[in-house]
Amino acid sequence: MYRIVYIIVFFVCTGRPLQAQHPGTWNILNVRYPVNSKLTIFSEGQVRSLSFYDDFHYHELTTGVIFRPSRQITLTLAGGEYLTYSSGGNFVSPIRSDEFRFWPQAAISQSFGRLILEHRYRSEFRFITSGFRLRFRSRLGITLPLNNREIKPGTIYMGASEELFFTNRAPYFERNRFILLVGRQFSRRITMHLGYVHQFDYRINDETGSDFVQVSLQATLSR
């Protein structure tokens, strides 16, 4: 199984989709505080660049609550600020897009042996400098633990997802985003993954760049 992980990491770092001269970076820090077994408060920050840890052009900060009515269903309500800068340097002015966004989300997960299948649906209410926009997102993701039958401390896992973005204005389809990743849950409080992101924009309006190396860290605080 470790050989599988090495192959995935090699693909993420050197695979054909990343043969563009300068893949960007996509860095995520997600901090969660479980209020009880059903309710969690979270905050997430992201910083993205158009070249490998250079030409930083985007950052966001989101805060919200997650409600889990059952083991298979999670409901989320969140909002935050999303800023996109001009390209050609690190956070170059003028700002191309200054956006406040809030979004409700529903996710349904199913298990088939070790394989975890998740359907995620999100509606985004976006208040941008150019006006109000509405967007809908649908993501199908799979997660496969490699060295355990379920994800728990010490588990190495791989995952992939495909997400479609739609708007309420013609031509309606806006973006397609594919993610391939390998991660590890180090403890009940710390999970980390390394991934490759490829996205196709039919109509670029809030972000440029198509290939990113993604580094994500999730930290869960003690109750």
Q: What is the pLDDT of residues 147-169, one digit of tens each?
A: 999 999 999 999 999 999 999 88
Average pLDDT, rounded, for the chain: 89
The pLDDT, as a whole number, for residue 17 is 46
> Could you state, in order of their start, the residue ranges of all structural domains in the chain?
2-220
Which of 27, 11, 8, 25 minimizes the C-alpha distance to 216?
27
Which of 173, 154, 155 minimizes the C-alpha distance to 163?
173
pLDDT of residue 12 exceeding 70, the answer is: no
Supply 52's token pair. Answer: 């490998």
Residue-wise pLDDT for 98-152, tens only, equals: 999 999 999 999 999 999 999 999 999 999 988 899 999 999 999 999 999 999 9
The CATH homologous superfamily for domain 2-220 is Outer membrane protein (2.40.128.140)
The pLDDT, as a whole number, for residue 201 is 82
The pLDDT, as a whole number, for residue 164 is 96
Do the beta carbons of residue 46 and residue 30 sit within 8 Å?
Answer: no
Which of 160, 165, 167, 206 minimizes the C-alpha distance to 183?
160
pLDDT of residue 212 exceeding 90, the answer is: yes
End-to-end CA distance of the chain: 34
What's 6's DSSP letter?
A: H
Cα 122–chain centre separation:
13
Do the beta carbons of residue 163 and residue 176 sit within 8 Å?
Answer: yes
